[in-house]
Amino acid sequence: IVTTAPKGAKDFTISPQTGKAEPTVAPVNIPKDSDVNWKKPVVVQQAVNPAPKGRIEKGVATYALDGDGAGITSKRGEKLNCRIEGIDAPETDKTRFGKKPAQPHADESLKTLQKMIVNKEVTVTVTEEASTKNYGRSVCKIEVEGKDVSTEMLRAGAAMLYEQFYKGPQHRAAQNQAKANKVGIWSDKVPPQPPWEYRRTP
């Protein structure tokens, strides 16, 4: 907007409605930085709250971004970002971030988890507190409709047993069942590359 001061007006303001300059007898004084007592910003509520180990929450799964991660909103309204314990799913496409393309079956894995938990009531037990190694996520055991999500993802061939971190024999049995039935990641002639190895390769 280009405007000029009204004739004879020492101080003026610009009307937000018309864009015209209008005389004023009470100009707005803009303070200098040295006159303002700036305070440190305060976060009223974090979008995702880290949860302590052992904490149990009931809530609703609101999203899944890959086959081993989910967002939960508790009944108290708190948000929890979870890395599902004991499993590692095929890596989804990261080329938009300048990283690697998706592994085979990544989309199917994601869709399996979405169908299993999204918009459903779940029970979450935090087994490991949020850390940088999990990209700020808490490691969680998630149950839906009385079933352990890790076990069901393995049984469907939608994820692989995370050998370094799996928790119980039922996980191994579920993976063996998926292998025997040749479902999901086990349906190809070539054995799947473990996601943790895929992430390490150039």
Q: Of 57, 91, 108, 152, which is the active-site residue?
A: 91
For residues 62 and 121, give the distance between their C-alpha atoms in angstroms, rounded to a whole number.
10
Q: Is 115 strand, coil or helix?
A: helix
91 is catalytic: yes
Q: Note every long-range contact of 189-196, with CB atoms under 8 Å and residues 24 or more positions apart, other chains counting.
A: 192/90, 192/103, 192/104, 192/105, 192/160, 193/103, 194/88, 194/160, 194/163, 195/88, 195/89, 195/90, 195/91, 195/103, 195/160, 196/88, 196/162, 196/164
76 is catalytic: no
Q: Of 57, 85, 108, 137, which is the active-site residue?
A: 137
83 is catalytic: yes
Residue positions annotated with a catalytic role: 83, 91, 137
